[in-house]
Each structure stands twice: as C-alpha cells, then as structure tokens.
Chains A and B, each alone.
Chain A
Amino acid sequence: MSRTTRREAAVRELLEGPVPGVPPELYADVVRRGNRMLRRRTTLRRLLWLLLLAAAVAFTVWASVARPWVAPPSETTPPLTGW
C-alpha cells in the first residue's frame, strides 16, 4: 500500500464521520421547488414564443404596407420637357 493510498484511506475515514439525518420535510420541499421551477420555465418559454410570433406578425404587416422591395420612383432625373 503506497503512502498516498494510506493517506487517502485515513482522510476517507475522517470524512465518513457521523451521518446527518435527512429531515422528513425535505422531499415535499424539493418537489414544491422543482414544480415551481418547471412552471417558471414553461411560462418563460411561452412568453418567448409569443414574442416571436408578435415580431413575425409585426414584420409581415410592416412589409405589406411599406413594400420595401418596390424601387422608389426616381427623384434625381429632371422631367423631360420641350424637345
């Protein structure tokens, strides 16, 4: 048995010590907290989807009104008159 292994065993023995009792209300507390976390995550996910949807709708409406793909009428060329 090497020195390191012996030392590790000694430390492990020290760590094993008296075991604390698990409080009986722990499980209920954990489940309550866990469910709250899940609910929060669901709400957040829904909110983000809603935001995405709203952004998509807003973009569509804006695009159909502003029609950015249509070339604007030229304003620099002078009107051709008198020839």
Chain B
Amino acid sequence: MRERHASQGARRAREFEAFVAGAAGRLLHAATLLTAEPPHDNPHARRLLTLALAHTYASWNRLRGEDPYDTARQYLAVRFARGAWHHYGTLSRFRPKQPGGALAVLSPQERLILVLRIYEGVAEEQTAALLGLPVERVRSICDRASATLLHPPRKPAPAVAKVAPS
C-alpha cells in the first residue's frame, strides 16, 4: 500500500513537472495580461499562477483524462474574478494604479473576457458558463473591449453597433 502510494507520488511529480515546464510560460503571460502588470514586474500574476498550479497539483490524481491546462486556466480565471470582486468591490470599476500592461485601459472583467476569448481561444459558450454570464453579454463585452483596445481610449467611444456576430 505504502509502496504503491510512493510510486504514485513519484509518477505525479514527474508528470506534473513536465506539465509545468510546458504550460507555465503561457499561463503566466495570460495571468500578467489579466492583472495588467508590466511583464518584468508581476507579483500578482505570479501569485495567481502559483495558486492555480498548486490547485492543479493537488487534484492531479483526480483529473481522470481531463486536460490539466484547462483545469489550471479555469482556476486562474475564477480566482481572478473572485479576487477582483473582493478587492475592489465591483468587477468593473477597478483600474490599476500604474498602468503597465497592454490591457491597463480595460476593466478587470473586460480583461478577463478578452484574455479567455482571444488570447486563450476559449469558446464563447464556455466563457459564459465559466463566468456565469449570458453568451450575448460575453460577446458584447468582448467587442467593446477590443474596440477600446484598438481605438485611442481618450476619444469618445466609437460606435460599434455594426459588428457582425462572430
């Protein structure tokens, strides 16, 4: 029993190390985009990533064929959404004090949806289910966020009514 336990632990450590080596870079980039920190100074993103990976490590034996990357990403997104909610009262009002990252002009919710939809390529339905929002709302937030990002943010928001549904 103990021997089986030990060998299971060793196998988990091996598999998990390979997973982290492959996935940590991309997940850290996503986390840094979420927290809107500059790429070289991202303590919050690192903390988010550490928590997400630790959670994945703890549930490694119970994944049963699920994609660990998916698990880690989901945990990261949910944790970020919850953290933004707790720290700043509402998900949409907070803006970082020192805009460093590429997405600093957006609200946390816009960042979250933009990163999930466009950077990670998660389907609209999955994003909506993960965040507990209607699909139409996810689509409109994503459209609005891309418009804000591409057009100069100081000008009055350009009309984005004629966007074809993706």
Q: Which residues of A contact B53 (CB under 8 A)?
A: 26, 30, 34
Tally chain B residues at the interface, Cβ within 8 Å.
37
Q: Which residues of B contact A21 (CB under 8 A)?
A: 40
A22 vs B49: C-alpha distance when bound (angstroms): 10
9-residue interface stretch from B54-62, B83-91, B127-135 = B54-62
Q: Are B58 and A15 in contact (CB under 8 A)?
A: no
Interface size class of A (residues with CB under 8 A): 20 to 34
Q: Are A34 and B54 in contact (CB under 8 A)?
A: yes
Q: Are B50 and A29 in contact (CB under 8 A)?
A: yes
Q: Which residues of A contact B20 (CB under 8 A)?
A: 26-27, 30
Q: Which residues of B contact A70 (CB under 8 A)?
A: none
B112 contacts A by Cβ under 8 Å: no
Q: Are B115 and A4 in contact (CB under 8 A)?
A: no
A5 vs B166: C-alpha distance when bound (angstroms): 8
A56 vs B54: C-alpha distance when bound (angstroms): 36
A window 10-37: CB within 8 A of B: 10-12, 14-15, 17-23, 26-27, 29-31, 33-35, 37
18 A–B contacts, CB within 8 A, in A order: A2-B164, A4-B166, A8-B166, A11-B118, A11-B150, A12-B118, A15-B33, A18-B39, A19-B25, A20-B28, A20-B29, A22-B24, A26-B24, A30-B57, A33-B57, A34-B58, A37-B54, A38-B58
